[in-house]
């Protein structure tokens, strides 16, 4: 039996992942008896200076693999991005296929391509990336390569990707629904069903969901996300209500109000292991 651990959206830079955080993660992986860790994208905004050194350090403790998220792609060429796609690892009879994925606006079909591009240019992180093709073309190319690969594999298949492969996981808040266009594509799910993929792990959207089976595919979405979104940060304000601010719904404002407090630093140290455990998916394979 092999225990494969999956995490995503660590955002090492934004979350100021230092020695204490790394040691807490290493201890968690040891306690959970993880034999191999896969990180499904968004380690940081700097693959070379932040993500890869972190990975090399962690590899001294545990076998590790990863695929890119959109934040990891910052500053990379198209060839460098593609070099990380479609890795296949074997654990017993089970194949682990990992790639980044992308989006084609199909989750928001009522808006035109031009409207989506305006929203992306004004608001979305990916405006900082220099991709050679437009978004639907990138996605179509990835889907074509994915199908070609899946058609060659036998036995149980686990897929790890960064982007969202099914509409059930999208934003439901009216303000954020326009950003669903940049989250992924339902076409990935259709391929997973066609080739009988057993389990899929992904992130990108910083919401954690209970695992669920959709048309025979079990989905796992438990990204770590930004510290301002963490459960421990929400719980801190419940335990220390004196630090609540008028605009509690503004996550960055409430976090900035307490991040330097000794009480918050101590609270984080006490509860970090539980936060990381909640963002860990474990799949056992024979």
Helix (H, G, I), strand (E, B) or coil at 48: helix
Share of the chain above pLDDT 90, in %: 98
In DSSP terms, 285 is beta-bridged to: 2
Overall CATH class of domain 2-225? alpha beta
Half-sphere exposure of 126 (CA within 13 A, CB side): 21
pLDDT digits (tens, 9 = 90+) for 125-142: 999 999 999 999 999 999
pLDDT at 270 over 90: yes
117-126, long-range: CB < 8 A, 24+ apart: 119/178, 119/179, 119/181, 120/181, 120/182, 123/179, 124/179, 124/182, 125/70, 125/71, 126/70, 126/182
Mean pLDDT over the full length of the chain: 97
Confidence of residue 67 (pLDDT cuts 50, 70, 90): very high
Measured distance CA(13)–CA(51) in Å, rounded: 9
The predicted pLDDT at position 124 comes to 95
Measured distance CA(112)–CA(109) in Å, rounded: 7
Asked whether 85 and 97 are in contact (CB, 8 A), the reply is no
- Determine which helix (DSSP H) or strand (DSSP E) holds 91, and give its type and residue range: strand 87-91
What are the boundaries of each domain within the chain? 2-225
Asked whether 119 and 178 are in contact (CB, 8 A), the reply is yes
Parallel, antiparallel, or unpaired: how do β-strands 209-214 and 199-202 relate? unpaired
For range 266-279, the mean pLDDT = 98
The predicted pLDDT at position 282 comes to 98
Measured distance CA(241)–CA(143) in Å, rounded: 48
The predicted pLDDT at position 174 comes to 86
The predicted pLDDT at position 85 comes to 97
The residue with greater pLDDT, 283 or 173, is 283
Measured distance CA(65)–CA(22) in Å, rounded: 16
pLDDT digits (tens, 9 = 90+) for 154-210: 999 999 999 999 999 999 988 889 999 999 999 999 999 999 999 999 999 999 999
The predicted pLDDT at position 286 comes to 85
The predicted pLDDT at position 127 comes to 95
Confidence of residue 243 (pLDDT cuts 50, 70, 90): very high
Share of the chain above pLDDT 70, in %: 100
φ, ψ of residue 262 in degrees (nearest 5): -60, -35
For range 44-73, the mean pLDDT = 97
Name the DSSP class of 199: E
> What are 84's two structure tokens?
């990380």
Helix (H, G, I), strand (E, B) or coil at 26: helix
The predicted pLDDT at position 84 comes to 97
pLDDT at 94 over 90: yes
The predicted pLDDT at position 175 comes to 85
Confidence of residue 48 (pLDDT cuts 50, 70, 90): very high
Measured distance CA(250)–CA(240) in Å, rounded: 17
Torsion of CA 256, 223, 276, 226, to 10 degrees: -10
């Amino acid at each position: 039996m092999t225990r494969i651990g999956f995490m995503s959206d660590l955002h090492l830079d934004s979350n100021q992942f230092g020695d204490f955080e790394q040691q807490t993660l290493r201890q968690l992986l040891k306690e959970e008896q993880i034999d191999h860790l896969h990180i499904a994208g968004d380690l940081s905004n700097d693959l070379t200076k932040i993500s890869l050194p972190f990975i090399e350090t962690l590899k001294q403790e545990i076998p590790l693999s990863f695929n890119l998220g959109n934040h990891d792609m910052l500053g990379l060429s198209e060839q460098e991005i593609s070099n990380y796609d479609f890795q296949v690892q074997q654990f017993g009879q089970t194949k682990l296929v990992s790639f980044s994925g992308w989006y084609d606006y199909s989750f928001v079909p009522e808006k035109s391509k031009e409207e989506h591009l305006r929203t992306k240019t004004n608001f979305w992180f990916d405006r900082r990336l220099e991709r050679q093709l437009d978004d639907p073309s990138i996605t179509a190319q990835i889907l074509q390569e994915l199908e070609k690969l899946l058609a060659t594999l036998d036995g149980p298949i686990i897929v790890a990707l960064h982007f969202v492969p099914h509409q059930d996981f999208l934003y439901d808040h009216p303000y954020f629904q326009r950003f669903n266009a940049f989250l992924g594509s339902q076409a990935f799910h259709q391929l997973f069903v066609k080739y009988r993929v057993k389990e899929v792990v992904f992130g990108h959207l910083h919401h954690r969901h209970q695992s669920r089976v959709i048309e025979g595919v079990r989905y796992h979405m438990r990204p770590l996300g930004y510290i301002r979104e963490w459960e421990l940060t929400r719980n801190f304000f419940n335990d220390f209500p004196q630090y609540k601010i008028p605009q509690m719904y503004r996550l960055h404002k409430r976090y900035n109000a307490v991040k330097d407090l000794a009480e918050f630093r101590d609270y984080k140290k006490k509860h970090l292991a539980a936060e990381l455990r909640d963002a860990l998916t474990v799949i056992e394979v024979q």
